[in-house]
Structure 1
Amino acid sequence: MNVGNSHETTRIDEIADGIYRISSRIPPSVIPNGFTFNQFLIDDEEPLLFHTGGRRLFDATADAIGRVVPVDRLRWIAYSHFEPDECGAMNQFLAAAPRAQPLCGRIGAMVCMPDYADRGARALADGETLELGRHTVEWIDAPHVPHGWDCGLMAETQTRTLFCGDLFTQFGDRHEPLTEGDILGPSEDARKALDYFAHGPASPAVIERLAGGDPKTLACMHGTSFQGDGAALLRALGSALQPSQKVSEN
Structure 2
Amino acid sequence: MTDNARVAEIAPDHYAISIYVPEFNLRFNHFLIKDDEPLLFHTGMKQMFPLVREALARVIDPSMLRWISFSHFEADECGALNDWLEVAPLAEPVCGLVGALVSVNDFAVRPAHVLAQDEILKTGRYRLRFRRTPHVPHNWEAGLLFEEVTSTLLCSDLFTHEGDVEALTESDVVDRARRSLIEGQKGPFAHAYPYTPLTDSILHGLADLRPKQLALMHGSTFVGDGARALRNLAVAMREVLGPGPDRTAD
TM-score, length-normalised on structure 1?
A: 0.92
Deviation at 1:246, TM superposition (A): 7.9
Matching residue within 130, 135, 142 for 1:144: 135
Q: Which residue of 2 aligns with 1:240?
A: 236
Separation in structure 2 between the aligned mates of residue 167 and residue 245 of structure 1, nearest angstrom:
19
Separation in structure 2 between the aligned mates of residue 74 and residue 210 of structure 1, nearest angstrom:
27
Q: How many residues are matched?
A: 237
Contact persistence 1:47–1:73 (CA under 8 A) = yes
Once the two structures are aligned, what percentage of the paired residues are identical? 43
Give per-residue Cα distances to partners, 1:2-52, cap 9 Å, x unaligned: x3x53x2x111000011000000111xx22xx1111000000000000000
Q: Does 1:210 align with 2:210?
A: no
Q: Does 1:192 align with 2:182?
A: yes
Q: Does 1:14 align with 2:5?
A: no
Contact persistence 1:44–1:132 (CA under 8 A) = yes
Give per-residue Cα distances to partners, 1:196-230, cap 9 Å, x unaligned: 21101011100000000000000000010100000
Contact persistence 2:178–2:237 (CA under 8 A) = no
1:60-209 paired onto structure 2 within 5 Å: 60-172=51-163, 174-195=164-185, 196-209=192-205
Q: What letter corresponds to residue 194 of structure 2 in structure 1?
A: A
Give per-residue Cα distances to partners, 1:162-198, cap 9 Å, x unaligned: 00000000111x1111111111111111111114211
Separation in structure 1 between the aligned mates of residue 125 and residue 38 of structure 2, nearest angstrom:
11
Separation in structure 2 between the aligned mates of residue 183 and residue 58 of structure 1, nearest angstrom:
28
Separation in structure 2 between the aligned mates of residue 152 and residue 140 of structure 1, nearest angstrom:
5
Deviation at 1:242, TM superposition (A): 2.2
Separation in structure 1 between the aligned mates of residue 28 and residue 127 of structure 2, nearest angstrom:
24
Contact persistence 2:137–2:157 (CA under 8 A) = yes
Q: Which residue of 1 aligns with 2:189?
A: none
Q: Which residue of 2 aligns with 1:227?
A: 223
After the TM superposition, list the runs of 4 or more consecutive aligned residues in structure 1 that deviate by more than 3 angstroms.
243-247
Structure 2 segments unaligned to the other structure (5+ residues): 186-191, 246-250
Separation in structure 2 between the aligned mates of residue 113 and residue 148 of structure 1, nearest angstrom:
13
Contact persistence 1:146–1:199 (CA under 8 A) = no
Separation in structure 2 between the aligned mates of residue 112 and residue 246 of structure 1, nearest angstrom:
34
Q: What letter corresponds to residue 67 of structure 1 in structure 2?
A: R
